[in-house]
Structure 1
């Protein structure tokens, strides 16, 4: 599919996003009611828009049903485990959704490019990964994989934007800047990864993400189209009438410690009309 030019208008984006998010809530209720296990993998270059997409997917979902797995660097003990072991621990139980903000594919991307794994470990990964994913699918886990594709120019623009924004500078790490100087190495690593892991049972779905709005809409719409969910009938909930008081009285307020009214400082003081000379 060719890259789409032009940014999706905000009004159209927000309207469609809310509609899709309402469907995600229905999907969540189906997952919970039917005991389904759903795994969604979000991968792509740094600043490709994975985090924003995950945020929109999870925004209205119950955190007890849908959770985000964003694992830190492995500990010394985890480095001594089977590579997939710490990811297995994050897999959903019946009635749960797990959104992987990066996943076991770290080994085929950043670890390979940055030399954090040996060649032997890398080739073992590309051999075992399809087997591992087929095992998940055979265990009735629904697995969906998304690769967020961003252009070199747009990635650099987003990096500069983060650099200039004090509220988002934490999102820019030395590892991110390495991805600029190693653009072609990451490209080759991604192409090779697809050769070995884009299998019929668990295909990669590429999301063009130069326009974040389009990327989020397209990704969510695609996810919904691939899961055979249905709307679940919910029990009717009614608020009960309050029982009559049994004489409870609240303790005096001065016996408790309240947070200061910081918001009061934001109120505009009443302006006195100026007197004419």
Structure 2
């Protein structure tokens, strides 16, 4: 499963998913995600979804589509910053444990404890002993989560070197995306094979029967999003929970209350009216 330069050459790739078809299917899948959410809430289920992969592989945009129509009180994103000095002295998994879901919650990890097997290992931010300890402890940690009843799903977003380069370039040129790229991201270009090796070693130790990895081909972001969401839905035995019947009440007649004059309030200027002039 290594992502090496030139990987996939000779293999015919699926074409880009047409936008109209993508939007239609995405809406259908998001409707199912709402049903999944209600099932999680009513059944008291705990669902954890881990998103990992190369920089610019499409993890963030997929997470955005997953939560787009969900209740943020039920489905939340855990995107942890770099650890503090105090957290560096804790058991490695400790700061992730506090972000795990309670009953009736869904947590999406935008990168996770697997930072240790990826960027920390490749960039030398952890020691060899800390890296080896992680590979030993991670399957045990995840087995404990599964045994406790947590539904754990792990997705690796796989992107080719050519497409990653194109996405990096667009981020550098687009002021609205510039924040999405850092010097650390660009460093990954020169360490492509090191990251490939680290990913393969990580899979060898953590792709277990209890918590397997699922690889998402993500050169086409539209295709990756619908494939990932469809797969997630297929792995959870959710059922459609009928909502309570609600009726819109009739608006009562006015009783003579007079609202204050509009000029006593400060309104936002109508910027939209100046557009197109």
Normalised by the size of structure 1, how large is the TM-score?
Answer: 0.94
**Segment drifting more, 10-19 vs 195-204:** 10-19
- Comparing 60-69 and 236-245, the one that deviates more: 236-245
Higher Rg of the two aligned structures: 1
- 2:23 maps to what in 1? 14
Q: Secondary structure at the match of 1:76?
A: coil
Gap runs ≥5 in structure 1: 269-277
4+ long deviations beyond 4 Å: none
Distance in 1, matches of 2:130 and 2:255, equals 69
Q: Does 1:42 align with 2:51?
A: yes
1:175 corresponds to which residue? 184
Quote the Cα distance in structure 2 between the aligned partners of 1:10 and 1:69.
29
Measure the CA separation in 2 of the matches of 1:123 and 1:173: 27
Name 2:129's counterpart in structure 1: 120
Gaps of 5+ in 2: 2-10
Structure 2 residue corresponding to 1:249, chosen from 250, 258, 274: 258
CA distance in 2, matches of 1:237, 1:4: 48
2:197 to 177, 188, 200: 188
Residues 194-203 or 243-252, more deviating: 243-252
In structure 1, what is the equivalent of residue 275 of structure 2?
266
Distance 1:249 1:202 in 2: 63
Between 1:23-32 and 1:256-265, the stretch displaced more is: 256-265
1:78 alignment partner in structure 2: 87
Distance 1:3 1:83, change over 3 A: farther
**2:235 aligned with 1:226, yes or no?**
yes
